[in-house]
């Protein structure tokens, strides 16, 4: 291990696009179509479009940041650059939660589908043998990543081609069994607008699209990053949106009408697409889906274990995590110590949260927290670093950035009071602990008073969201009826957006250095 080693630039546009697609098409295509239709009914395809729409605008802000500042783990480094180490610490912790659980989540998905062949692995929850099966799969991810980004890139490209091929076969086959009347069975949107929006956050849809951020995690390992990062983000989102919407539409259309006697909410399938294929008498398709169920989630888990190691590296580079995690292996350019920590966390997450649905809710809540910061970062840098070279410059940033922030805030709100309350409560507690430890000290060249001034807006944002969620209609008391709860979310998000933009650090020497020095 060495602190002087550098990352190896071995990834091109195709590699990076497939990293994005490989991150997004994983276990979600196997489970989320069922979860979404149970919540939103036949209108679930609209939920996918809402998730894609919000992800697109957030991705635009990430594309500008990633092309201007191609930093490994940029997602957690940009907030530290613009608003200092206190917010950087909270964002890094949220990213650590989100990234570290995905490899475990995907291993759980593989084991769940594999249990149809090997019941001894367990169903919704693993047996002891099932847990060891998951652990062994995570170990394989670790070994692929341990020997360098080139071997990782080749493995991911091969797996992603397969991952795209199987959903394409499923879409075409289910389209041949399409029944249009299913879209009006028990109403098009049985739970109304609330059901459509709730599915975005709670059925794993925003989780499904969240993988576009992994493209920036590998920024320092990309050839011609300024051009490649932007193109890879947009190509991967376009491909993935098309796949997910078509999967949802054909799934709804192919469900046998006899299964809908009690409505969409009562639909029960343990392995949705495989079960549906079996009901339609398509034994060959069942085998294809089951085989892919071992490949798609595994490919995504492989990407996320690599991305988690880069996120830990970036956290350490921010100055609010142990410096030894910035060490890179001299031969491979891999942050191996960070990779070991990622392995440990992936295994740990499979213990208290054994089901796919439980893990995805944790991931979604933490992931949306990260998305909210990107629009503020891009606007703050426009304000405080106007001369920073921007190979990709968003047109209409004054409209797009607040729209992206508002979209992310609504998705956060739709997660519901139960998840949102403990997640935001934990972040506020972490901020308090940080302040007690760092009180009166400079961190990464930023004074403590400046850290507090630059972070006050996010405290108001968290508290405001918790209050509205407690009184609102998404798992709250309902004392604040719709649409007034969401109107207040809109007002809160716009107020905190502009407050956050003007709270950025304008002249912190360390932040300027981090923003302008090329490299990892």
Q: What is the pLDDT of residues 484-518, one digit of tens each?
A: 898 999 999 999 999 999 999 875 434 444 444 44
Q: What is the spatial distance between Cα 82 and Cα 95, in angstroms, rounded to a whole number?
A: 17
- pLDDT, position 435: 92
Convert 356-371 to b/e letters by CB count within 10 Å (16 or more is b): bbebbbbbbbbbbbbb
Element holding 466 (H helix, E strand) = helix 448-471
Mean pLDDT of 119-123: 84
> What's the average model confidence in pLDDT over 337-344?
92
- Give the phi and the psi of residue 441 in degrees, each rounded to 5: -110, 150
Provide the pLDDT for residue 511: 47
The tens digit of pLDDT for each residue in 441-462 reads: 888 788 899 999 999 999 999 9
Decide if pLDDT at 223 tops 80.
no
Distance CA 43, CA 37 (A): 7
Residue 4 pLDDT greater than 60, yes or no:
no
Q: How far apart are CA 32 and CA 177, in angstroms?
A: 20
Count CB neighbours of 249 within 10 A: 20
pLDDT digits (tens, 9 = 90+) for 463-489: 999 999 999 988 889 898 878 898 999
For residues 356 and 402, the model is more confident at: 402
Token representation of residue 255: 């469900």
Confidence (pLDDT) at 394: 82
Dist CA 257 CA 268 (whole Å): 14
Give the pLDDT score at 510.
45
175 conformational bin, left if phi > 0, alpha if psi -120 to 50, beta if neither = alpha
pLDDT band at 204 (very low <50, low <70, confident <90, very high): confident
Instruction: Report, as an integer, the average pLDDT of 12-28.
Output: 80
Please say if the pLDDT value at position 7 is more than 70.
no
Tell me if 11 sits within 8 A of 155, measured CB to CB.
Answer: no
- Residue pLDDT, tens place only, 254-294: 999 888 888 888 888 878 898 999 999 999 999 888 888 77
Q: What is the mean pLDDT of residues 351-369?
A: 67
Confidence class of residue 3 from pLDDT cuts 50, 70 and 90? low
Q: Which of the two residues, 188 and 98, has the higher pLDDT score?
A: 188
Structure-model confidence comparison of residues 510 and 222, the more confident one: 222
> Could you please report the per-residue DSSP string of 278-310?
HHTT-HHHHHHHHHHHHHHHHHHHHHHHHHHHH
How many whole angstroms separate alpha carbon 464 and alpha carbon 492? 7
Residues 46 and 60: their CA atoms lie apart, in Å, by: 21
Cα distance between residue 46 and residue 513, in whole Å: 44
Provide the β-strand partners of residue 122.
126
Q: Report how far residue 169's alpha carbon sits from residue 250's, in angstroms, rounded to the nearest whole number.
A: 11
Q: Which residues pair with 126 in a beta bridge?
A: 122
Residue 309 token pair: 């190691």
Q: Is the pLDDT of residue 419 over 70?
A: yes
pLDDT at 518: 42
User: Mind spelling out the 3-state secondary structure of 341-392?
Assistant: HHHHHHHHHCCCCCCHHHHHHHHHHHHHHHHHHHHHHHHHHHHHCCCCCCCC
Q: Which domains does the chain have, with CATH numbers?
A: 13-516 (1.20.1740.10)
CA atoms within 13 A on the CB side of 443: 26
Tokens linked to 480: 């604040």
**Could you give the residue ranges of the DSSP H alpha helices within 69-127?**
74-83, 85-114
Which of 448, 348, 517, 434 is closest to 91 using CA atoms?
434
Question: 136-140, 215-219, 331-335, 407-411: lowest mean pLDDT where?
Answer: 215-219
Please spell the DSSP secondary structure of 472-494, one letter per residue.
SSSSS---S-TTHHHHHHHHHHH
Judge if pTM exceeds 0.85: no
416: helix, strand or coil: coil
DSSP class of 26: S
Look at the block and give the residue holding tokens 């996120």: 311
Q: For position 512, what pLDDT does the model report?
A: 41
3-class SS of residue 79: helix
pLDDT at 248 over 90: yes
Q: What does the pLDDT read at residue 513?
A: 46
Per the prediction, the chain carries an average pLDDT of 83
Q: Which of 340, 362, 435, 404 lies closest to 145, judged by CA?
A: 340
What residues are paired with 328 via a beta bridge? 2
């Amino acid at each position: 291990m060495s602190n002087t080693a550098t990352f190896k630039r071995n990834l091109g546009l195709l590699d990076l696009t497939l990293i994005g697609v490989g991150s997004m098409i994983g276990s979600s295509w196997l489970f989320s179509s069922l979860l979404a239709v149970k919540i939103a009914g036949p209108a679930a395809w609209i939920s996918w479009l809402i998730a894609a729409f919000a992800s697109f605008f957030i991705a635009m802000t990430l594309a500008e940041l990633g092309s201007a500042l191609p930093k490994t783990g940029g997602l957690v480094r940009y907030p530290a650059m613009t608003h200092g180490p206190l917010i950087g610490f909270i964002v890094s912790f949220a990213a650590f939660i989100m990234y570290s659980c995905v490899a475990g989540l995907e291993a759980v998905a593989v084991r769940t589908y594999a249990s149809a062949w090997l019941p001894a692995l367990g169903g919704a929850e693993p047996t002891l043998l099932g847990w060891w099966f998951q652990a062994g799969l995570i170990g394989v991810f670790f070994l692929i990543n341990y020997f360098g980004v080139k071997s990782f890139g080749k493995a991911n490209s091969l797996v992603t081609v397969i991952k795209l091929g199987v959903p394409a076969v499923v879409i075409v086959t289910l389209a041949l069994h399409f029944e249009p009347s299913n879209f009006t069975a028990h109403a098009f949107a049985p739970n109304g607008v609330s059901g459509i929006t709730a599915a975005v956050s709670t059925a794993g849809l925003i989780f499904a699209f969240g993988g576009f951020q992994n493209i920036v995690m590998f920024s320092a390992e990309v050839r011609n990053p300024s051009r490649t990062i932007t193109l890879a983000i947009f190509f991967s989102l376009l491909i993935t949106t098309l796949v997910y919407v078509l999967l949802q539409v054909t799934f709804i259309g192919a469900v046998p009408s006899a299964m809908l006697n009690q409505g969409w909410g009562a639909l029960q399938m343990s392995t949705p697409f495989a079960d549906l294929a079996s009901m339609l008498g398509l034994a060959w398709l069942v085998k294809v889906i089951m085989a892919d169920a071992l490949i798609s989630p595994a490919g995504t888990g492989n990407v996320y274990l690599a991305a988690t190691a880069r996120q830990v590296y970036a956290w350490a580079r921010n100055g609010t995590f142990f410096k030894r995690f910035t060490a890179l292996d001299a031969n491979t350019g891999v942050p191996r110590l960070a990779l070991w920590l990622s392995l440990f966390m992936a295994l740990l997450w499979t213990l208290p949260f054994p089901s796919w649905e439980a893990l995805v809710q944790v991931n979604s809540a933490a992931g949306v927290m990260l998305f909210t910061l990107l629009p503020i970062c891009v606007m703050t840098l426009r304000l405080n670093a106007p001369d920073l070279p921007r190979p990709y410059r968003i047109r209409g940033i004054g409209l797009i950035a607040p729209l992206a922030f508002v979209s992310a805030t609504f998705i956060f709100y739709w997660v519901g009071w139960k998840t949102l309350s403990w997640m935001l409560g934990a972040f506020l507690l972490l901020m308090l602990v940080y302040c007690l430890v760092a009180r009166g000290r400079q961190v990464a060249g930023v004074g403590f008073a400046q850290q507090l001034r630059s972070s006050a807006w996010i405290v108001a944002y968290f508290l405001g969201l918790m209050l509205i969620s407690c009184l609102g209609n998404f798992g709250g008391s309902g004392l604040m009826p719709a649409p007034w709860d969401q109107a207040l979310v809109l007002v809160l998000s716009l107020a905190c957006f502009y407050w956050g933009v003007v709270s950025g650090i304008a002249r912190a020497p360390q932040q300027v250095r981090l923003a302008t020095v090329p490299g990892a």
